[in-house]
């Protein structure tokens, strides 16, 4: 079977190089189906899919490998890695934990488990897992990078650098190189960061994900040196190599479906209970994390961060067989159904004593204001707005974990997504399901106290000076905005896209094609 597998992988590589990956995928899937109990075949197929960035297909094959060889820690670790890259963190953790029950001395399993805990914001458990890995293998590069990244998240940059430099690794390691380069750039050594990343990019075997992340890091290092053309080229390579496609037409149809279904009267709602949810919505990279960090410093507000609890709840209300993950007839949802759903949502809240509001800061929740009003009639909604060019550039020049925000991979797709968001917000403003306040990122940066007093008045809570001291909070934001919310107010992110104006033209054209008058709403 080895010869058959080798030939199949060679054919798949050739098809992929000629732009026929879907055909390659189908052929390999047939081989997987005819060799379900062959651990070697499933291992080889899974490794190939993982290498090209198809983590869903990789997980499918690795799961068959586990079934074929249930005592293989390697199979469980590989399955965990593929599942983790697909975004299913709880399942990934379970796979790593199962591997460790078979082989408790596997440093790689402990390191991977640490990354899951870290993504789940459990930094203490993550640190423990990384330390266990280093006890087994002191120079384990994944554990080293993991611990250093936790120090960085907590604002202990110097400690992170010292840790990275304390161990001499036998070969370049992607995670260590990325983190070290990031710290160097932030310390003002962009040229050194560039050199570190270019060295890492010369490695023989890089997964699609690793290459993309290195290209994004290189883009940041070049941007810091004002080498805009080279920086854009690096970001473009990073986005182009990610291998995932955004279905702009499908998303537009989903938004239209919700808009149509949301016209039904809201005669039945769940009971209003305290504390009330505060939904912070908007385009990603519009300042939602900054506002939430500020509000979390108010004694009457508890921040829960970025969670997908509401979309999952709405999908559950849709039921099986629905065309979209959204109820076909929201008005038909009974009081019992709505009350139970609201109860499930609130069950995830912790440490909310004395809170008047509990935040939910998932930007994409702008889709669900009608359902919010049915579930939580006392909820409030803040829509963060930011200049279109800055939002678009920030999306394009940042890499997001686990294949999230696939629309950010091209200027045209960002524009299409923005047009959907803009049109839906116009609908909500015309007939607000809940009290809705627009907050402009530029105003929050320029006059934070004025903006926060306006927010406090909207929420009916007294202004608290502690909100202006948000950067000293010990709270960690596990998003691309972590660095920003750990610094005092700064304005360098306003107008950052100006240097890339020529490259933003496809974005502006796509927004206009979506029916948005960019000139009339230039501040967005």
Residue range 411-437: mean pLDDT, rounded: 96
Please say if the pLDDT value at position 470 is more than 50. Answer: yes
Residue 481 pLDDT = 44
**Residue 510: both structure tokens together:** 């796509």
Residue 357 and residue 380 in contact, taking contact as beta carbons nearer than 8 Å:
yes
Q: Measured at the alpha carbon of residue 358, what is the angle toward residues 298 and 269, in degrees to the nearest 5?
A: 140
C-beta pairs of 25-28 under 8 Å, 24+ apart in sequence: 25/54, 25/57, 28/57
Within 10 Å of residue 226's Cβ, how many Cβ atoms?
A: 9
Residues 6+ apart with CB under 8 A from 409: 239, 240, 242, 244, 246, 396
Given a cut of 90, whether residue 486 has pLDDT beyond it is no
Q: Write the DSSP assignment of 298-345 as a string of letters.
A: STTEEE--S--HHHHHHHHHH-TT-SSSS-S-GGG--HHHHHHHHHHH
Lowest-confidence segment of 44-48, 140-144, 252-256 by average pLDDT: 140-144
Higher pLDDT, 484 or 383: 383
Classify burial at 100, counting beta carbons within 10 Å of its beta carbon; exposed 0-12, middle 13-18, buried 19 or more. Answer: buried
User: For residue 472, what pLDDT is reported?
Assistant: 67
Alpha-carbon span 396 to 390, nearest angstrom = 10
Residue-averaged pLDDT of the chain: 90
Biggest distance spanned by C-alpha atoms of the chain: 72
Q: What is the pLDDT of residues 375-418, one digit of tens each?
A: 999 999 999 999 999 999 999 999 987 667 999 999 999 999 99
pLDDT bin (cut points 50, 70, 90) of residue 1 is: low
Please answer whether residues 235 and 397 qualify as being in contact, where contact means their C-beta atoms are separated by less than 8 angstroms: yes
- Bridge partners of 437? 382
Q: Tell me: pLDDT of 215 over 50.
A: yes
Query: Which residues have CB under 8 Å from 470's CB, separation 6+?
Result: 290, 293, 294, 296, 297, 485
Q: Measured between alpha carbons, how far is 25 from 161 in angstroms, rounded to an integer? A: 42
Cβ atoms of 376 and 270 within 8 Å: the answer is yes
Secondary structure (H, E, C), 154-176 = CCCHHHHHHHHHCCCCCCCCHHH
Beta carbons of 487 and 471 less than 8 angstroms apart: yes
Quote the CA–CA distance of 57 and 38 in Å, as a whole number.
Answer: 16
Q: How far is 246 from 263, CA to CA, in rounded Å?
A: 28
Q: Tell me which range, 169-183, 238-252, 448-462, 487-501, is most confidently predicted by mean pLDDT.
A: 448-462
Whether residue 301 contacts residue 470, with contact meaning beta carbons closer than 8 Å, is answered with: no
Which string of b and e fits 308-342 if b means at least 16 CB within 10 Å?
ebbbebbeebeeeeeebebbeebeebeeebbeebb
| Whether the Cβ atoms of residue 261 and residue 330 lie closer than 8 Å to each other | yes
What is the predicted pLDDT for the residue at 263?
A: 80
Burial class of residue 297 in the structure, from the number of CB atoms within 10 Å of its CB (0-12 exposed, 13-18 middle, 19+ buried)? buried
Would the pTM count as exceeding 0.95? no
Which whole number is the average pLDDT over 458-485?
Answer: 70
Residues 155 and 167 sit within 8 Å (Cβ to Cβ): no
- Name residues whose C-beta falls within 8 Å of residue 47's C-beta, 6 or more positions apart in sequence: 58, 78
């Amino acid at each position: 079977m080895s010869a058959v597998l080798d030939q199949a992988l060679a054919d798949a590589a050739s098809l992929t190089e000629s732009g026929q990956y879907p055909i390659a995928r189908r052929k390999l899937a047939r081989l997987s189906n005819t060799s379900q109990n062959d651990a070697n075949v499933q291992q080889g197929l899974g490794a190939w899919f993982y290498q090209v960035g198809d983590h869903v297909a990789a997980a499918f094959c690795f799961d068959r490998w586990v079934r074929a060889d249930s005592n293989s820690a390697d199979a469980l670790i590989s399955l965990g890695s593929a599942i983790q890259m697909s975004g299913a963190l709880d399942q990934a953790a379970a796979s790593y934990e199962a591997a460790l029950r078979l082989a408790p001395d596997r440093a790689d399993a402990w390191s991977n488990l640490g990354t899951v805990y870290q993504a789940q914001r459990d930094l203490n458990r993550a640190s423990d897992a990384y330390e266990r890995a280093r006890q087994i293998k002191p120079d384990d590069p994944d554990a080293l990078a993991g611990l250093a990244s936790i120090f960085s998240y907590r604002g202990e940059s110097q400690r992170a650098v010292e840790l990275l430099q304390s161990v001499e690794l036998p070969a370049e390691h992607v995670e260590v190189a990325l983190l070290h380069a990031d710290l160097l750039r932030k310390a003002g050594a962009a040229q050194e960061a560039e050199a570190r990343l270019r060295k890492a990019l010369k490695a023989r075997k890089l997964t699609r994900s690793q290459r993309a992340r290195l290209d994004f890091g290189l883009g940041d290092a070049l941007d810091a040196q004002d080498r805009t053309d080279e920086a854009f080229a690096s970001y473009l390579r990073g986005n182009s190599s990610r291998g995932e496609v955004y279905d702009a037409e499908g998303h537009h149809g989903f938004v239209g479906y919700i808009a149509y279904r949301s016209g039904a009267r809201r005669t039945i709602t769940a009971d209003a209970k305290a504390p009330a949810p505060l939904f912070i919505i908007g385009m990603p990279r519009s300042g939602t994390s900054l506002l939430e960090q500020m509000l979390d410093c108010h004694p009457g507000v508890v921040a829960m961060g970025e969670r997908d609890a509401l979309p999952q709840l709405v999908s559950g209300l849709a039921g099986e067989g629905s065309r979209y993950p959204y109820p076909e007839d929201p008005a038909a949802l009974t009081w019992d159904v709505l009350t139970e759903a609201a109860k499930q949502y609130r069950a995830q809240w912790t440490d909310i004593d004395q809170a008047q509001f509990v935040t939910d800061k998932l930007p994409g929740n702008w889709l669900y204001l009608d359902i919010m009003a049915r579930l939580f009639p006392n909820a409030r909604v803040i829509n963060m707005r930011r200049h279109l060019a800055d939002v678009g550039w920030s999306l394009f020049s940042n890499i997001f974990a686990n294949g999230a925000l696939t629309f950010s991979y091209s200027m045209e797709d960002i524009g299409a997504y923005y047009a959907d968001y803009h049109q839906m917000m116009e609908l909500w403003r015309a007939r607000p399901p809940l009290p809705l306040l627009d907050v402009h990122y530029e105003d929050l940066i320029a006059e934070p106290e004025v903006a926060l007093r306006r927010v406090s008045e909207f929420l009916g809570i007294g202004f608290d000076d502690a909100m202006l001291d948000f950067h000293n909070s010990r709270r960690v934001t596990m998003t691309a905005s972590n660095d920003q919310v750990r610094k005092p107010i700064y304005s360098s992110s306003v107008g950052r896209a100006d240097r890339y104006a020529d490259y933003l033209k496809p974005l502006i054209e796509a927004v206009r094609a979506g029916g948005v008058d960019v000139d009339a709403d230039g501040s967005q």
